[in-house]
Every structure is written in structure tokens, then in C-alpha cells.
Amino acid sequence: MIQLYNLTLDELTDLFAKWGEPAYRARQVWRWLYVQKVTDAAEMTNLPAPLRERLAREASVNMLEPVRRLFSADGRTVKWLFRLPDGQLIESVLMGYADGRRTACISTQAGCAMGCVFCATGQMGFARNLSVGEIVMQAVEVARWLESRGERLSNVVFMGMGEPLHNYDAVLAAIRRLNAPEGLGIGQRHITLSTVGLVPQIRRFADEKLQVKLAVSLHAATDEERSALLPVNKRWPLSELIGACHYYVEKTGRRVTFEWALIAGENDTMAQAHALGSLLEGLLCHVNLIPLNPTSGYEGLPPDKQRVAAFQKILADHGIRSTVRIRRGIDINAGCGQLKAEVLKEEHRA
């Protein structure tokens, strides 16, 4: 079965040429996929009936089967759990903001090989990479749902399940598809890629010279502390990671955002705050402080507000700008991998 969302426009044109169809049919179908966002070839009403019937027989428009959709009490967060054709489960989250932004947080892998101890996805291990179509379709699904309510998708963040740079080629192709005027038309500066710190891939990504934002999951400012939380640090320690971040800034002129999940009694200490300030001095960057979203597989808890404020003040004393991210969707397991873990437990009990 041909998965239409896996194809580029050129590949779709080539397919139709083999089928004896004119090139303009490919652009018609492409528009149905990315502008009209249909879920069935039968809805492509400007195509001749025989072509629609062939598409229905030999191609698939939809690779994502909705398993569950949850709405947060905050009124601005929606989480989807999708089943892929091979049975794997992935998650996507919509986050709405008061300034009008509508952001899709999408997954790049089924599971994750990075093993970050506080992450529900890391706790479940790695299954496989997602295809370009499986990545892009998540944004399409969120955009379709928003459009049905008179809203539009404005931002995409690669911060869902998986390590984006571990699936480099598919993710880069997905970024270009999201950004393209004939794709979803999301501006590069409205796209963010998050990584735990795969140093060679960060340097490679810098060389692409895109205007996509880079976010690095840091979470600790010393190698001993970081290696305990993020095993990837044993392969690429902080000196190499921060060196790659400097390279990214030099190549792109864009600042790096560092993600810091604040864990009470672990990395919320004043010593870690000073170490972080010293580590980042001289680097064009910003720090997102995120009180931990607890998971069943990790005993850590978020710190209280006073502790967070004290941590942030020390960063400011070092000249490092930071913001405290409001935790979203706690009531709907919006944290990466949490809903999948819950559903897998339910299916196992059944």
C-alpha cells in the first residue's frame, strides 16, 4: 500500500506518470492532502472517478488511527494518542496560548533510545523511527482539528516522543514539508527542534543554515549529574555539547534554548544554578525552567515556587536569561510518553 504522505510532490508526480496520469493531477492530490486535509481519496472530488478508485485500492491517505483524545481542564491543551499501521502508538499535543499561538508538539520516533530517567518515553525503550509521512501527518491532524474550529496551526515543536536528531533525515524532510508553501506553510522560525545533545548531528544541523529554533535538553550542569539523568552525556559530555552549541550560534546567528526540568533535591540546588550560569556564560542562549512533570517510573518531584525563583535569580546574576514554563496538561498525561504508557497498561490488563 502506497502511503501518500510519505511521498514528495516529485515522487507523487512520478507515480502518476507511471499510472498514465497528467502531472497536474499530482498537484491536485497534493492540495487535497495539505490544504483540504482530507482523510479519504473519495473526498478528492475534482479527480476522475477511476483515479479516485485506484487511489482507494492502492494508496492510503491516513496512517494515523486516533486511539484517544483528551482535553485538559485548562481549556488550551489537547492530547492525541495515535496507532500506526504496524500497531505502534505515538502521541501528539496541541497547546494553545493567550497570544494566539497554536502549537503542535509532535513525535519523531515510536519510543526512544536515549533512556532519560525522568521521561516516560525513555522508560519504555525504542521501537522504531517514524517515516516522514507519520511525522508530518501529526501536524496535519492537529491543523485539521483547529481549522474545524476556525483556528489555524501557527507553530510546530519536535518535542514529542523520540529524539529528533536520531531520525535525522526523516525529520529534516518533515521540516521542509511543514515549511513549504505547498506544504503546511509553517515559517521556519515557528518550528523548534529539541534534542538531548547528539553532538555530530547538532553540528550537521547547524550546517543546514535553517532558521529553525534549536532547543537542547540540558537538565544538569556537571557531567556527573547529567550522566545520571541523561545517559547520552557519557557519549558526548558537556564540553563537547556546549562546543556544538557555540558552533550552531556561529553558523546560524540564532540563540540556543536550553531546557531544564527542575527536580526537587536533584538539579534545583543553588550549586547547580551557579554551575549552569558559569557553563553558559558568553553563549547566546535562553533557559526554559520546567518544574518536573512526574511519571510513574521516576520518583522525582517538582520543586516549590520559592526554590524555582531562587534558581532563576542566580541565573540572572550570571547574565543568563530564563523563563519558567507553565506545566501544561498535567491532568491529561500531556508529558511525553505518559498517555501511551497508561493505555499500554490498560491493554495489558485487558
CA atoms of 254 and 129, how far apart (whole Å) = 28
In the predicted model, residues of the chain with pLDDT beneath 50 are 340, 343-350
Domain check: are 52 and 73 in the same one?
no
Residue 240 belongs to a domain with what CATH number? 3.20.20.70
Domain check: are 145 and 56 in the same one?
no
Catalytic residue among 224, 266, 336, 346: 336
pLDDT at 232: 95
Active site residue 147: no
Residue 26 belongs to a domain with what CATH number? 1.10.150.530
Domain check: are 298 and 282 in the same one?
yes
Domain check: are 69 and 56 in the same one?
no
pLDDT at 345: 47
Catalytic residue among 21, 91, 141, 259: 91
Domain check: are 161 and 241 in the same one?
yes
Number of domains in the chain: 2
pLDDT at 183: 87
pLDDT tens digits for 25-46?
999 999 999 999 999 999 999 9
Domain check: are 100 and 226 in the same one?
yes
Domain check: are 137 and 229 in the same one?
yes
Domain check: are 100 and 213 in the same one?
yes
pLDDT at 348: 43
Domain that holds residue 54: 2-60
Active site residue 285: no
SS3 of the chain: helix, strand, coil, percent, to 5 = 45, 20, 35
pLDDT tens digits for 163-181?
999 999 999 999 999 999 8
pLDDT at 310: 95
Among residues 60, 78, 109, the one where a domain terminates is: 60
Among residues 60, 93, 110, the one where a domain terminates is: 60
Single pTM value for the model: 0.91
Domain check: are 56 and 70 in the same one?
no
Domain check: are 268 and 254 in the same one?
yes
pLDDT at 349: 46
